[in-house]
Amino acid sequence: MIYAFDTYYYDDYANTICIAFEDWTSEKETEIFSEKTEITSDYESGAFYKRELPCILSLLNKIELKEGDIIIVDGYVTLDDDGKIGLGGYLYDALEQKYPIIGIAKNGFTTPDSQRRAIYRGESKTPLFLTVKGSDVDKMKLNIEKMYGSYRIPTLLKKLDQLTRE
Q: Is the pLDDT of residue 7 over 70?
A: yes
Range of the domain at 97: 2-164
CATH classification at residue 64:
3.30.2170.10
Q: Domain tally for the chain?
A: 1
- Let me know: does 20 contact 33? Beta carbons within 8 Å: yes
Residues 6+ apart with CB under 8 A from 113: 78, 79, 80, 81, 131
State the pairing for strand pair 31-38/117-119. unpaired
pLDDT mean across residues, the chain: 94
Element (H, E) at 6: strand 2-9
pLDDT digits (tens, 9 = 90+) for 12-31: 899 999 999 999 999 999 99
**What phi and psi values does residue 18 have, to the nearest 5 degrees?**
-130, 125
pLDDT digits (tens, 9 = 90+) for 58-99: 999 999 999 999 999 999 999 999 999 999 999 999 999 999
